[in-house]
Every structure is written in structure tokens, then in C-alpha cells.
């Protein structure tokens, strides 16, 4: 691996360890691209992410699934991209429903409400269909993803966020499993409130027209990375409404039509 990519990975992991956001890593990725005469900066950005994922696994962190990011048209337009990205979820990123989230656990936190799918079967084909995903899904749960950026002021381009594990922070799952035959993944309304005020609203279709489209993309992508999705994996499929900055003491409640609710509670300042 090019030294610039290792430097990028270290810069990001340092930011997490010290709680001090860092400079973007896109220049490092661009340098590696030029010096390696590589065609695709996105592949190099994923190499940075995978470097840190490997280290995390070596430290004994348990991988429990993936998040799909950049699934809304407006966010894709903002970043000038036309496809989603993914990040890895670890067990230590899961926070209990309504349990306090330490303010310093996630740098520059923002919240978004999503549909989580939990898999009953492996998805190890090269290409997957919607039917494959429906058959492989054990159940859906409402989720709040707390995204964060190791990069100062969220000054990110596509390569930065991919290298930074798709800006993942932590996540909260609701606890009533709902199977897909009783859920309208496209038309379900989403309301996320803060002190009763709707701060983010949307519907299932905001995620790539259908959250299952994001899941199909992820299944194909992970297969192409040689790490197919496995039974038990949690898939955070992507935001159903705009993301909202979170501050200490904020308690967000997300309600998804047909799925129920989930609460992300940020700890009060000491």
C-alpha cells in the first residue's frame, strides 16, 4: 500500500483517538493516485478505509454489518456523485435504545433516521436481485444512525468520507422486528422529533427510491470486494430524511410508519 494511503488512514484513526478533527485526506489519496498511476481514487479511498478496518479487527473489534451512505439524491448532488458508498459497523458502535451517547463518542455528530435490515442468509452471489434481498432479510428495525466526521468542519469530498468509514459514528436500533410482507418500505413516513418538534421528515423512497435498492447495491459491492454479506449482518440502508446536527443533551425520537420508534439520547454535559 502506498505510504500516502497509510498516512491518510493514520490521520483518521489519530483524529478518532485524540478527539481532534483532522485535515481532509483527499490530497494524500490524490498523491497516491498520481504516483501509482491509478485510475480510480474511489478504490484508493476504500483501501484507506479497509486498512483501518483490518486494524480494528486485529484489535478484536467485532464486525456486525455495514452502513450505506450517500443514498439521497440531494446528498449525491452535493458531493457530485451518482452512487452510494459504504462503511463498516462494529459491535462497539451499537448503542441501546434510549441509552446515553457520550458526547465525545462521535466527532461532530449528526443524526439520521433509517431502516435497518438484519439478514437471515448469506448473500454471496456476484449480482443480487431484489428478490434475493427479500428472501435473505430476517426482519427490519427502525434505526437512528449517528454519523460523524473525523475531518474538521465536515469539509469532505467523496474520497474523504469513503476513507473515513463513510463518516460512521454509532447507531441505535429499535427492538420490534417487522418482516417485509407487512412493511411498505417505499411509502412509509418518517418523522424524527427533538422535544416534540419535527426536525427531519421523509419517507422510505428518499433512500434510492427504495431502501432495498441500497441493500442490493451493498450486496453486489461487498461481493466484488470478496467480503459477501453474511447471515446476522445489520444493514443500515440510508437516511430517509435530512440529517440533523446533534448537541449534548439532545434526545431524538424517530418514528417510521409501520416500524415503530427508536430513541437516540445524547448525554447531558457534565
Interaction between residue 201 and other proteins (CB under 8 A): yes
Query: Of the two residues 8 and 203, which places its CB atom closer to other proteins in the complex?
Result: 203
Beta strands 100-101; 94-95: pairing state? unpaired
Query: Of the two residues 65 and 202, which places its CB atom closer to other proteins in the complex?
Result: 202
Residue pair 52/13 in contact (Cβ under 8 Å)? The answer is yes
When binding is defined by CB under 8 A, the residue of 2, 26, 191, 253 that contacts other proteins is 191
Q: How far apart are CA 238 and CA 77, in angstroms?
A: 16
Report DSSP state, residue 256. E
Residues of span 145-184 touching other proteins by CB under 8 A: 184
When binding is defined by CB under 8 A, the residue of 134, 205, 248, 267 that contacts other proteins is 205
Interaction between residue 197 and other proteins (CB under 8 A): yes
Interaction between residue 202 and other proteins (CB under 8 A): yes
Residue pair 256/239 in contact (Cβ under 8 Å)? The answer is no
Interaction between residue 135 and other proteins (CB under 8 A): no
Beta bridge pairs of residue 147: 110, 168
Neighbours of 210 (CB within 10 A): 16
- Tell the smallest beta-carbon distance from residue 256 to other proteins (Å): 8
Interaction between residue 75 and other proteins (CB under 8 A): no
Interaction between residue 241 and other proteins (CB under 8 A): yes
Buried b (16+ CB within 10 A) or exposed e, 74-102: ebbeeeebeebbbbbbbeebebebeeebe
Query: Of the two residues 2 and 253, which places its CB atom closer to other proteins in the complex?
Result: 253
Report the interface residues with other proteins, using CB under 8 A: 73, 184, 186-191, 193, 196-199, 201-206, 209, 241, 255, 257
Amino acid at each position: 500500500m502506498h505510504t500516502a494511503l497509510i498516512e491518510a488512514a493514520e490521520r483518521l484513526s489519530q483524529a478518532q483517538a485524540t478527539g481532534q478533527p483532522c485535515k481532509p485526506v483527499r490530497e494524500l489519496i490524490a498523491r497516491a493516485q498520481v504516483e501509482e498511476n491509478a485510475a480510480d481514487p474511489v478504490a484508493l479511498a476504500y483501501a484507506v478505509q479497509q486498512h483501518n478496518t483490518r486494524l480494528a479487527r486485529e484489535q478484536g473489534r467485532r464486525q456486525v454489518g455495514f452502513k450505506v451512505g450517500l443514498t439521497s439524491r440531494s446528498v449525491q448532488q452535493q458531493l457530485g456523485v451518482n452512487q452510494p458508498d459504504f462503511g463498516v459497523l462494529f459491535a462497539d458502535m451499537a448503542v441501546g435504545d434510549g441509552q446515553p451517547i457520550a458526547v465525545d463518542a462521535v466527532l461532530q455528530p449528526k443524526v439520521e433516521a433509517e431502516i435497518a435490515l438484519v439478514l437471515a442468509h448469506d448473500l454471496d452471489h456476484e449480482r443480487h436481485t431484489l428478490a434475493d434481498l427479500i428472501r435473505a432479510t430476517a426482519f427490519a428495525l427502525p434505526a437512528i444512525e449517528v454519523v460523524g466526521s473525523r475531518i474538521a468542519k465536515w469539509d469532505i469530498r467523496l474520497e474523504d468520507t469513503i476513507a473515513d468509514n463513510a463518516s460512521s459514528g454509532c447507531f441505535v436500533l429499535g427492538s420490534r422486528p417487522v418482516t417485509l410482507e407487512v412493511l411498505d418500505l417505499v411509502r412509509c413516513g418518517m418523522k424524527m422529533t427533538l422535544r416534540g418538534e419535527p426536525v427531519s421528515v421523509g419517507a422510505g423512497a428518499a433512500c434510492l427510491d427504495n431502501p432495498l435498492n441500497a441493500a442490493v447495491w451493498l450486496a453486489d459491492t461487498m461481493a466484488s470486494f470478496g467480503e459477501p454479506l453474511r447471515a446476522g449482518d445489520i444493514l443500515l440502508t440510508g437516511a430517509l430524511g435530512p440529517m440533523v446536527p446533534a448537541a449534548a443533551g439532545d434526545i431524538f425520537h424517530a418514528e417510521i410508519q409501520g416500524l415503530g420508534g427508536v430513541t437516540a439520547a445524547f448525554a447531558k454535559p457534565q
